[in-house]
Amino acid sequence: MGRRKLHEENIRKIKKSGDSYAITLPITVIRELGWREKQKVVVEKRGKGILIKDWK
């Protein structure tokens, strides 16, 4: 996969979903992490970004 294609694959839009907002994640990332549908994750604010990690 070329550098430009990888960059485009990682660009996401924020969408309104009821009273919250949603961002989709690339399937390649989900597969690499071994995550599943309805899995719980922790979302933390880090400076001007966010960190999403598995909930233990």
Specify the number of domains making up the chain. 1
Q: What is the mean pLDDT of the chain?
A: 90
Residue 20 lies in a domain: no
Q: How does pLDDT run along the chain (56 residues), one tens digit per residue?
A: 555 565 777 899 999 999 999 999 999 999 999 999 999 999 999 999 999 999 98
Token pair recorded at residue 15 = 């969408």
Residue 49 lies in a domain: yes
Torsion sign across C-alpha atoms 44, 50, 11, 17:
positive
Residue 29 lies in a domain: yes
Residue 11 lies in a domain: no
**Model-level pTM greater than 0.75?**
no
Expressed as residue numbers, the domain containing 56 is 25-56
Residue 50 lies in a domain: yes
